[in-house]
């Protein structure tokens, strides 16, 4: 989801979209400690939607955060040693790479995420 701001309201909007896509399933979110994840608006929303469970990633441990690996790989593929004449072209290329690429995650692999996914089908 592309957004000009990262704040509590944007986070709640994303969570609403997530709940609309998966209305009956429990959802586990792996979250870093971004300030917008801990905003009062988000805390209230989470209390009102118990099917959303948060697993907080440890502070100051980007190597454990799957998102950090995704950003790094996408930056390398899209923006390193590439010239984009306009910011919106760069944003489009960045978003396309995110949508078209499967990213490995050592944290999830370490806990047999792929195996658990196969068992749940």
pLDDT at 46: 97
Mean pLDDT of 85-103: 86
pTM, rounded to two decimals: 0.67
pLDDT digits (tens, 9 = 90+) for 10-63: 999 999 999 999 999 999 998 888 899 999 999 999 999 999 999 888 887 777
Residue 11 CB: number of other CB atoms within 10 A? 21
H helices of the chain, in order, are 8-21, 40-48, 66-78, 87-100, 106-110, 113-120
What stretch of H or E contains 52?
A: strand 52-56
């Amino acid at each position: 989801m592309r957004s000009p701001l990262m704040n509590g309201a944007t986070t709640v909007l994303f969570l609403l979209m997530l709940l609309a896509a998966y209305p009956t399933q429990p959802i586990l979110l792996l979250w870093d400690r971004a300030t917008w994840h801990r905003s009062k608006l988000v805390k209230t929303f989470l209390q009102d939607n118990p099917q959303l469970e948060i697993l907080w990633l440890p502070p100051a441990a980007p190597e454990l955060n799957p998102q950090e690996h995704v950003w790094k790989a996408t930056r390398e593929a899209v923006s390193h040693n590439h010239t984009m004449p306009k910011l919106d072209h760069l944003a489009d290329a960045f978003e396309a790479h995110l949508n078209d690429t499967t990213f490995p995650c050592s944290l999830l692999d370490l806990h047999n995420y792929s195996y658990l996914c196969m068992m749940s089908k």
